[in-house]
Amino acid sequence: MSVYDEESASKTITLQDVATAAGVTVGTASKALNGQGKLRQETRERVLTAARQLGFRTRGLPATDHITILLLTSVIHTRFSIPLLTGLEQEVAQYERPVSVLMWRAFNQEHQRQHLEGLLTRPVDGIIFMADDTNLHPPVPLPPEHQQIPHLYVYGRITDHRELCLLPDDEQGGRLATEHLLSQGRREIATITGPLYFEAVHLRARGMRQVLLEHDIPFSETRILTGPWSIEWGYKAAQQLLERDPAVDAIFCGSDEIACGVIEALQASGRRVPEDVSVIGFDNWSSMVYRVRPHITTIDMGLPELGRRAGQHLLAMIEGRETPQGALYQHCTLVVRDSSGVPKHSLSLKDGVQKK
């Protein structure tokens, strides 16, 4: 992946420019230039003529025909965005043509709209919108003259089902955590998690409930405690839980930060982890999972793979190849450490289990 160079980019004619000049979509222009698809000869010739007039360099010259991707995000240096960006970088680095990624920070949708108007004055072949949560959002409005630019969303769900969105499967992650706790003979399971306005909180709890229901294990909603994503909340919530419900023998935490606080509270109360109470986190955040002892068993959302798939699908769009619509979910994996104990019933690697 190359660093964005504004001077060289301003001289580059993009596939979007050819499509606009020929009066066709980007996908049609790509097919015409690459000799693919069932197009009318008149359409193909119109695209080729536009490409010649504009000086567009086709895929026959991969060394000089480079692609520019605009990445618009509200978060840049976080534990969620960095793994996503790593996966994206790895994917575009393998592409047959040079790929530049222009990353720009926008704090909200209005900020994104304002930035787009200026950023799209330069050549852009595709756009990735990266959200800071997996809640449901309206699509980012593209300027009318740029409606055909290939784009997708990552780590954010969009109200328009025609838009491609790539998301971690939070519900499956909740199932995986609960199945792991049950495999150790745990039956009195509670969850301490983040604020209710996060969709991920509801999805993970739903996955947990489904597994308990499938095993005919009763569950009380009083065993769901919600609050900030913090160590302090984990500690406070665990104290509250143990005071009113001392029979709890497993706690599924909505983040590794919360799990740190939970483990500290359990140990302060004289309970052993995992002998008395098993604890499992979510995120696989290395600075948290190794912060306490025992080290935290957790759920990994596979964010590098999510970033890789985003790059893969966007490049396919730019090439004019068919891509899916709607939400695509990335399976989570269970990373087993010491806070949950040794499973009494083994789970295979195909079930998404890693031993660390």
Domain with residues 170-301+334-355, CATH architecture: 3-Layer(aba) Sandwich (3.40)
Q: Note whether 252 and 280 are within 8 A (CB).
A: yes
Q: What ranges do the domains of the chain cover?
A: 1-64, 170-301+334-355
- pLDDT per position as a tens digit, 7-36: 333 445 778 888 888 898 888 887 777 666
- Mean pLDDT calculated for residue range 221-235: 98
What's the confidence (pLDDT) of residue 355? 53
CATH of domain 1-64: 1.10.260.40
- Residue 24's nearest CA partner among 10, 9, 39 is 39
- pLDDT per position as a tens digit, 136-191: 888 888 887 788 899 999 998 899 999 999 999 999 999 999 999 999 999 999 99
Whether 64 shows a pLDDT value over 50: the answer reads no
Whether 37 shows a pLDDT value over 90: the answer reads no
Least confident residue range of 57-61, 302-306, 320-324? 57-61
Secondary structure in 3-state letters for the chain = CECCCHHHHCCCCCHHHHHHHHCCCHHHHHHHHHCCCCCCHHHHHHHHHHHHHHCCCCCCCCCCCCEEEEEEECCCCCCCHHHHHHHHHHHHHCCCCCEEEEEEECCCHHHHHHHHHHHCCCCCCEEEEECCCCCEECCCCCCHHHCCCCEEEECCEECCCCCEEEEECHHHHHHHHHHHHHCCCCCCEEEEECCCCCHHHHHHHHHHHHHHHHCCCCCCHHHEEECCCCHHHHHHHHHHHHHHCCCCCEEEECCHHHHHHHHHHHHHCCCCCCCCCEEECCCCCHHHHCCCCCCCEEEECCHHHHHHHHHHHHHHHHHCCCCCCEEEEECCEEEECCCCCCCCCCCCHHHCEEEC
What's the confidence (pLDDT) of residue 179? 98
Q: Note whether 106 and 137 are within 8 A (CB).
A: no
What's the confidence (pLDDT) of residue 153? 95
What's the confidence (pLDDT) of residue 347? 42
- Mean pLDDT calculated for residue range 125-146: 86
Tell me the average pLDDT of the chain.
86
More reliable by pLDDT, 77 or 312: 312
The Cα 209–Cα 217 span in angstroms is 9
- Mean pLDDT calculated for residue range 318-341: 94
What's the confidence (pLDDT) of residue 10? 40
Query: Given strand 333-336, what is the order of strands in its sheet?
Result: 298-300, 333-336, 353-355
